[in-house]
Amino acid sequence: MPRKKRPEGTRRPNGASSIYFGEDGKWHGRVTVGIRDDGKPDRRHVKRKTEGEVIDAVRELEKQRDSGEVRKPGRSQTVEQWLTHWVENIAAPTVRLTTMVGYRASVYKHLIPSVGAHRLDKLQPEHLEAAYVKIMREKGLKPATVHLAHRTVRAALNEAVRRRHLTRNPAQIAKPPRVPDEEIVPFSREEARKLITAAGELRNGARFIVALSLGLRRGEALGLKWSDVTITWKHGCERGAPCRRKLRAEECPTRRGVGTMAIRRSIQQLNWQHGCSPDDHCGHEHGAYCPKRYGGGLVVGEVKSSAGRRVIGIPQPVIEALEAHRTQQEEERHAAADMWEEGGWAFATPIGRPTHPTPDNRAWKALLRLADVRNARLHDARHTAATVLLELKVPLPAVMELMGWSNAAVAKRYMHVNTELATAVADQVGAHMWAVPDDDGEEDDDGPAGALVPA
């Protein structure tokens, strides 16, 4: 049915959308979506082969205009241009250095080579999903690495949507590869005791006692200084004993300590970056071996979050382990003489420098072998400490304060119902449900063990 012409002498209202057939044989549509920075109308143009297609395009623009989601005027950037601007100018000044290492690796190694040539406003979820599969297939990367790239591009495109360079984030729709759930089994009480006993035979062994009992993150433990540890000694002998008159509390054979530990900083290892150009590659796969490497090494920075800055109490056995470790470190200081670099680090190298995470991890593996305990990650010690707090029925707010968590949901990942706790709960349920009344008609909590049916 032919379109009706507007009555002679009338015109469409100012700002109304228009559709017309052009001399180039294409259908055109123009939609006013707002006002430009110079005060002139922001009128967008679309061109399609058929009238129906241009009507749909005009309606989509009008919908975006009415919802306030229309992108900024001007030619859209490429994905490479936006990711480069985002990672260097938006993310870099606002996130931790260790986070930037992951961001830059995802952007420059994976995302730009895979989807960087696409126009930003034309990027589709299917483009990202195909890139994820290609990265895993050609580079042989694990799903966790690809999942990090997905989280990176999602964060970058969220910022593009917020700045109206995009109307929607395709990474919110794209499905990343599934990361297999990693089964984490905290150390049992017996395993933890074996590790603590064996730690006394290792240099810096107190560092692992702290990890198992207090649950410090690796960076927090390596970033600990003696100035962060406060210990007040008290006499352990009875009042009026000769020891109290002759010796100070620190010299009392039965002394007891009351200590706190302030978590203020964290030491992180930054990966080395290649300093050579892509055209003149040095031939080494890892940046650590590049002659022009840059940006790597140890970095002393803030703890992971504001909740990570905390003060925690130190149990008496840990105080004793720290004091023994301090004595051993004093001997190393005298042996090193002029080579000692005073930094006040609680767990230092033999010449006083902060301990690198790599040899620290090797020492942990040596401790597992020495204690004849199954192989496990050092971070599993933090899971063990959190699970102990669960067994002790410590209230969740106190657990979050001690562990340095700002989100209660994190507790679910760290506090595990292990075999010991499950058995204890089962015993309590059995004692409650199958309790046998005594002679006074009251229930005896020590009911028959192993009874399957109530009497």
SS percent in the chain: helix, strand, coil, step 5: 45, 15, 40
Nearest Cα to 188, choosing from 423, 27, 411, 24? 423
Q: What CATH number has the domain bearing residue 345?
A: 1.10.443
User: What pLDDT was estimated at residue 454?
Assistant: 39
Nearest Cα to 107, choosing from 83, 89, 88? 83
> Is the domain of 88 the same as that of 141?
yes
For residue 36, tell me if it sits in a domain. Answer: yes
> Is the domain of 155 the same as that of 230?
no
> Is the domain of 236 the same as that of 212?
yes
Strand ranges of the sheet holding 310-314, from the earlier edge strand across to the other edge: 229-234, 256-263, 310-314
Backbone angles phi, psi at 217, to 5 degrees: -65, 160
User: What pLDDT was estimated at residue 290?
Assistant: 76
Sign of CA dihedral 283, 286, 289, 290: positive
pLDDT surpasses 90 at 149? yes
For residue 392, tell me if it sits in a domain. Answer: no
For residue 105, tell me if it sits in a domain. Answer: yes
User: What pLDDT was estimated at residue 307?
Assistant: 87
For residue 244, tell me if it sits in a domain. Answer: yes
> Is the domain of 137 the same as that of 107?
yes
Compute the residue count for the chain. Answer: 455
Q: Report the Cα–Cα distance between both ends of the chain, in Å, rounded.
A: 87
pLDDT surpasses 80 at 209? yes
> Is the domain of 318 the same as that of 239?
yes
User: What pLDDT was estimated at residue 70?
Assistant: 65
Contact criterion met (CB below 8 Å) for 161 and 168: yes
User: What pLDDT was estimated at residue 64?
Assistant: 77
42-47 average pLDDT score: 82
Burial label for 178, CB within 10 Å (0-12, 13-18, 19+), is exposed
Helices in 216-299 by DSSP H: which ranges? 218-222, 242-246
> Is the domain of 218 the same as that of 327?
yes
Task: Provide the domain limits for residue 60.
Answer: 18-67
Higher pLDDT, 3 or 290: 290
For residue 257, is it left (φ>0), alpha (ψ between -120 and 50) or beta?
A: beta
CA 205 to chain centre: 26
pLDDT surpasses 50 at 302? yes
Sign of CA dihedral 354, 357, 358, 361: positive
> Is the domain of 146 the same as that of 253?
no
Contact criterion met (CB below 8 Å) for 416 and 186: yes
The structural domain count of the chain equals 3
| Averaged pLDDT score across all residues of the chain | 85
126-148 average pLDDT score: 91
> Is the domain of 35 the same as that of 148?
no
> Is the domain of 113 the same as that of 195?
no
For residue 453, tell me if it sits in a domain. Answer: no
For residue 242, tell me if it sits in a domain. Answer: yes
The pTM of the full predicted model, rounded to 2 decimals, is 0.72
User: What pLDDT was estimated at residue 448?
Assistant: 45
Q: Dump pLDDT digits (tens) for 241-299.
A: 888 888 888 888 888 888 899 999 998 877 766 777 666 667 666 666 677 776 677 88
Q: Dump pLDDT digits (tens) for 406-454.
A: 888 899 889 988 887 888 888 888 888 887 766 665 655 554 444 443 3
Q: Which of 97-106, 200-209, 359-368 has the lowest mean pLDDT?
A: 97-106
> Is the domain of 255 the same as that of 362?
yes
Contact criterion met (CB below 8 Å) for 198 and 207: no
Nearest-angstrom CA–CA distance, 186 and 183: 10
